[in-house]
Amino acid sequence: MTHSLPELPYSPDALAPAISAETIEFHYGKHFQTYIDNLNKMIEDSPYEDMGIEEIVMKAGGAIFNNAAQAWNHDFYFQSLTPVPVEMPEVLAGKIEKAFGSAAGFKTEFIKAAATLFGSGWAWLCEDKDGALSIVQTQNADNPMTQGLKPLLTIDVWEHAYYIDYRNRRAAYLEAVWNLIDWNKVAGRL
């Protein structure tokens, strides 16, 4: 199976100025594409050759895991954004209130987790088997699916996600990207 770069659900300049067309050109067009290309090369004639990306993430280790997980994570991240402001659906708002006290409390905790993640990685909102929500940090390519959690939302905090637009100001990137989250997509993953 040859994997290909999934299409974006918006035009490359639609998220500007929070995420510029130049960042999309590099982050989506080059970094994400490279993970897909590397994955395709690595799985050739391997036990992973006919698996979907999610199955590879759950079963592989090493470089194949890293490239498959980065492919999965980037698709999930880009699919979670929208240029059109979306209000949080009630079913999600209720669960967030239960877990974090309020929507504002959730935002504070999520952004803190994303801002304090040391080095490269991802901040996630996840749901466990009992339906409880939690915020998770992962390093590098790691994905909470391998810990038995269901990802609902992620924000990429690798430097390549924000350096063109924000240089070292990760917190400014997080504040801006927060307004791009498609809460309908997040709720749809519950």
Extract the tokens encoding 120: 């490269």
Q: How far apart are CA 71 and CA 161, in angstroms?
A: 14
Nearest distance from residue 160's CB to Mn ion, in Å?
Answer: 5
What is residue 41's DSSP assignment?
H
Burial of 102 per CB tally in 10 Å (0-12, 13-18, 19+) = exposed
The footprint of Mn ion (CB under 5 A) covers 156, 158, 161
Nearest distance from residue 27's CB to Mn ion, in Å?
Answer: 6
Quote the crossing angle between the two packed helices 103-116 and 170-178, to the nearest 10°: 150
Nearest distance from residue 95's CB to Mn ion, in Å?
Answer: 27
Query: Which residue lies nearer to Mn ion by CB, 10 or 99?
Result: 10
Nearest distance from residue 32's CB to Mn ion, in Å?
Answer: 7
Q: How far apart are CA 52 and CA 42, in angstroms?
A: 14
Query: Which residue lies nearer to Mn ion by CB, 88 or 145?
Result: 145
Burial of 151 per CB tally in 10 Å (0-12, 13-18, 19+) = buried
Query: Which residue lies nearer to Mn ion by CB, 100 or 162?
Result: 162
List, in sequence order, every beta strand (DSSP E) within the chain. Answer: 121-127, 133-139, 150-156
Nearest distance from residue 152's CB to Mn ion, in Å?
Answer: 18
Query: Which residue lies nearer to Mn ion by CB, 73 or 92?
Result: 73
Residue nearest to Mn ion (CB): 156
Query: Which residue lies nearer to Mn ion by CB, 29 or 89?
Result: 29
Nearest distance from residue 73's CB to Mn ion, in Å?
Answer: 7
Query: Which residue lies nearer to Mn ion by CB, 65 or 100?
Result: 65
Look at residues 105, 116, 161, 64 and name the one whose alpha carbon lies nearest to residue 56: 64
